[in-house]
Amino acid sequence: MILYADTSALVKLFVAEEGSDATHDLFRQASLLGTSVLARAELEAALARAVRRGLIRDEDGLDARRRLEIVWPTWVRIAVDERLVARAGALAWEYGLRGYDAVHLAAALVWQERIGYPVVVATFDSELGEAARQASLEVWPAAGLK
Query: Per-residue pLDDT tens for 91-108?
Result: 999 999 999 999 999 999
Report helix, strand or coil for 77: strand
Q: Which residues contact 110 (CB under 8 A, 6 or more apart)?
A: 78, 84, 87
Query: Positive or negative, the Cα torsion across 32, 28, 14, 127?
Result: positive
Q: In this predicted structure, what is the pLDDT of residue 143?
A: 61
Q: In this predicted structure, what is the pLDDT of residue 64?
A: 96
Interior/surface letters 100-124, b for 16+ CB within 10 angstroms, e for the rest: bbbbbbbbbbbbbeeeeeebbbbbb
Query: 124 and 140 in contact (C-beta within 8 Å)?
Result: no
- The band of 142, judged by pLDDT with boundaries at 50, 70 and 90, is confident
Q: Write the DSSP symbol of residue 119.
A: -
Q: Which CATH number fits domain 2-140: 3.40.50.300, 3.40.50.1010, 3.40.630.10, 3.30.9.10?
A: 3.40.50.1010
- The band of 79, judged by pLDDT with boundaries at 50, 70 and 90, is very high
Read off the pTM. 0.94
Q: In this predicted structure, what is the pLDDT of residue 146?
A: 45
Domain boundary assignment for the chain: 2-140
- The band of 15, judged by pLDDT with boundaries at 50, 70 and 90, is very high
Residue 86: burial class (beta carbons within 10 Å; 0-12, 13-18, 19+): exposed
What mean pLDDT is predicted for residues 11-34?
A: 95
What mean pLDDT is predicted for residues 115-131?
A: 97
Q: State how far the Cα of 139 lies from the Cα of 16, in Å rounded to an integer.
A: 22
